Chain A
Amino acid sequence: MDHPSFVQHAVLLSLVLFGLGTLGVFLRRNVITVLMSIELMLNGANLAFVAFSRAAGTLDGQVLVFFVMVVAAAEAAVGLAIVIALHRHKDTLDVDAFNVMRG
Chain B
Amino acid sequence: MFEDPILNVLPFSVLLLPLGGFIVLALFGDWIKKDKEEQGAAWLACATVIAACALAAITTVRLYGLVGGPEGLRFSQPYLGFEWIAVGSFRVPINLLIDPLASVMMLVVTGIGALIHVYSVGYMAHDEDKVRFFSYLNLFTFFMLLLVMGGSLPLLFIGWEGVGLCSYLLIGFWYRKDSASAAGLKAFVVNRIGDVGLILGMIFIFHAFGSLDLVDIADNAGSLAPEALWQWGPVTLACLLLFLGATGKSAQIPLHVWLPDAMEGPTPVSALIHAATMVTAGVYLVARLGPLFHQSETAMLVVAVTGAVTALMAGTIAIVQTDIKRVLAYSTVSQLGFMFLAAGMGAFGVAVFHLYTHAFFKALLFLGSGSVIHAMSGEQDMRLMGGLRKKIPWTYATFLVGTLSISGIPFFAGFYSKDEILAATLGTGHPILFGIALFTALLTAAYMARLLFLTFFGEFRGGHGHAAASEAEHHVHESPWSMLGPLVVLAAGSVVAGYALFPMAHAGTVHGVRLPDVIQPVFRLAERPLPALPWLPMVATGSALLGILIAWYLYLSMPELRASLARRLRPALRLFGAKYFFDHVYDGFVRHVVVAGSDRLLWKRVDAGWIDGAVNRTGSLTRAFAETLRPVQTGFVRHYVLLVLAGAVAVVYYLLASVERLAP
Closest chain B residue to A38, Cβ basis: B641
Would you call A103 and B636 a contact (CB within 8 A)?
A: no
In the assembled complex, which residues on chain B have CB atoms less than 8 Å from the CB atom of A98?
Answer: 635, 637
In the assembled complex, which residues on chain A have CB atoms less than 8 Å from the CB atom of B638?
Answer: 25-26, 95-96
Would you call B635 and A100 a contact (CB within 8 A)?
A: yes
In chain B, positions 610-654 with a C-beta closer than 8 Å to chain A are 629-638, 641-642, 645
Q: Say which residue of A25, A26, A95, A99 sits within 8 Å of B634 (CB atoms).
A: A99
- Does A101 touch B at the CB level, under 8 Å? yes
Closest chain B residue to A96, Cβ basis: B636
- Does A62 touch B at the CB level, under 8 Å? no
Would you call A95 and B637 a contact (CB within 8 A)?
A: yes
- Does A22 touch B at the CB level, under 8 Å? yes
Chain A 18-38, CB within 8 Å of chain B: the 1/0 string? Answer: 000010011000000010000
In the assembled complex, which residues on chain B have CB atoms less than 8 Å from the CB atom of A26?
Answer: 638, 641-642
Least Cβ–Cβ distance between B379 and chain A, in angstroms: 83
CA distance A99 to B637 in the complex (A): 8
In the assembled complex, which residues on chain A have CB atoms less than 8 Å from the CB atom of B641?
Answer: 25-26
Closest chain B residue to A99, Cβ basis: B635
Closest chain B residue to A34, Cβ basis: B637
**Chain B interface mostly:** helix
In the assembled complex, which residues on chain A have CB atoms less than 8 Å from the CB atom of B642?
Answer: 26
- Residues of A in contact (CB 8 Å), total 12
- Does A88 touch B at the CB level, under 8 Å? no
In the assembled complex, which residues on chain A have CB atoms less than 8 Å from the CB atom of B635?
Answer: 98-103
Closest chain B residue to A22, Cβ basis: B645
Chain A 26-52, CB within 8 Å of chain B: the 1/0 string? Answer: 100000001000000000000000000
Would you call A99 and B636 a contact (CB within 8 A)?
A: yes
In the assembled complex, which residues on chain A have CB atoms less than 8 Å from the CB atom of B636?
Answer: 95-96, 99
CA distance A100 to B637 in the complex (A): 11
CA distance A96 to B635 in the complex (A): 8
Least Cβ–Cβ distance between B224 and chain A, in angstroms: 73
CA distance A102 to B635 in the complex (A): 4
Would you call B630 and A103 a contact (CB within 8 A)?
A: yes
Chain A 59-103, CB within 8 Å of chain B: the 1/0 string? Answer: 000000000000000000000000000000000000110111111
Would you call B633 and A102 a contact (CB within 8 A)?
A: yes
Would you call A102 and B637 a contact (CB within 8 A)?
A: no
Would you call B637 and A103 a contact (CB within 8 A)?
A: no
Least Cβ–Cβ distance between B170 and chain A, in angstroms: 71
In the assembled complex, which residues on chain B have CB atoms less than 8 Å from the CB atom of A96?
Answer: 636-638
In the assembled complex, which residues on chain A have CB atoms less than 8 Å from the CB atom of B632?
Answer: 103
In the assembled complex, which residues on chain B have CB atoms less than 8 Å from the CB atom of A22?
Answer: 645
CA distance A103 to B634 in the complex (A): 6
In the assembled complex, which residues on chain B have CB atoms less than 8 Å from the CB atom of A102?
Answer: 633-635
CA distance A60 to B481 in the complex (A): 112
Least Cβ–Cβ distance between A89 and chain B, in angstroms: 15
CA distance A26 to B151 in the complex (A): 89
| Known contacts A95-B637, A95-B638, A98-B637; A103 and B631 CB within 8 A of each other | yes
Closest chain B residue to A27, Cβ basis: B638
Least Cβ–Cβ distance between A97 and chain B, in angstroms: 10
Would you call A103 and B645 a contact (CB within 8 A)?
A: no
Least Cβ–Cβ distance between A8 and chain B, in angstroms: 18
CA distance A100 to B633 in the complex (A): 10
CA distance A95 to B638 in the complex (A): 9
In the assembled complex, which residues on chain A have CB atoms less than 8 Å from the CB atom of B633?
Answer: 101-103
CA distance A102 to B640 in the complex (A): 11
In the assembled complex, which residues on chain B have CB atoms less than 8 Å from the CB atom of A95?
Answer: 636-638
Least Cβ–Cβ distance between A94 and chain B, in angstroms: 10
Least Cβ–Cβ distance between B105 and chain A, in angstroms: 80
CA distance A25 to B637 in the complex (A): 9
Least Cβ–Cβ distance between B636 and chain A, in angstroms: 6
Closest chain B residue to A102, Cβ basis: B635
CA distance A95 to B641 in the complex (A): 12
CA distance A100 to B641 in the complex (A): 17
Closest chain A residue to B631, Cβ basis: A103
CA distance A9 to B642 in the complex (A): 27
In the assembled complex, which residues on chain A have CB atoms less than 8 Å from the CB atom of B645?
Answer: 22
Chain B 552-589, CB within 8 Å of chain A: the 1/0 string? Answer: 00000000000000000000000000000000000000
In the assembled complex, which residues on chain A have CB atoms less than 8 Å from the CB atom of B631?
Answer: 103
Chain B 196-225, CB within 8 Å of chain A: the 1/0 string? Answer: 000000000000000000000000000000
In the assembled complex, which residues on chain B have CB atoms less than 8 Å from the CB atom of A103?
Answer: 629-635
Least Cβ–Cβ distance between B406 and chain A, in angstroms: 88
Least Cβ–Cβ distance between A83 and chain B, in angstroms: 12
Least Cβ–Cβ distance between B626 and chain A, in angstroms: 9
In the assembled complex, which residues on chain B have CB atoms less than 8 Å from the CB atom of A34?
Answer: 637
Least Cβ–Cβ distance between A25 and chain B, in angstroms: 5
Least Cβ–Cβ distance between A59 and chain B, in angstroms: 23
CA distance A103 to B637 in the complex (A): 13
CA distance A10 to B636 in the complex (A): 34
CA distance A48 to B633 in the complex (A): 33
Max chain B C-beta neighbours (<10 A), residue from A34, A100, A102: A102
CA distance A22 to B649 in the complex (A): 13
Least Cβ–Cβ distance between A95 and chain B, in angstroms: 4
CA distance A96 to B638 in the complex (A): 9
Closest chain A residue to B629, Cβ basis: A103
Closest chain A residue to B640, Cβ basis: A101
Closest chain A residue to B644, Cβ basis: A25
Max chain A C-beta neighbours (<10 A), residue from B630, B634, B635, B645: B635
CA distance A2 to B153 in the complex (A): 96
Least Cβ–Cβ distance between A62 and chain B, in angstroms: 22
19 A-B residue pairs with CB within 8 Å: A22-B645, A25-B638, A25-B641, A26-B641, A26-B642, A95-B638, A96-B636, A96-B637, A98-B635, A98-B637, A99-B635, A100-B635, A101-B633, A102-B633, A102-B634, A103-B630, A103-B633, A103-B634, A103-B635
CB-based closest 9 A-B pairs: A99-B635, A102-B635, A103-B633, A103-B630, A95-B637, A25-B641, A101-B635, A102-B634, A101-B633
Known: A26-B641, A34-B637. 18 other contacts (CB 8 A): A22-B645, A25-B638, A25-B641, A26-B638, A95-B636, A95-B638, A96-B636, A96-B638, A98-B635, A100-B635, A101-B633, A102-B633, A102-B634, A103-B629, A103-B630, A103-B631, A103-B632, A103-B635
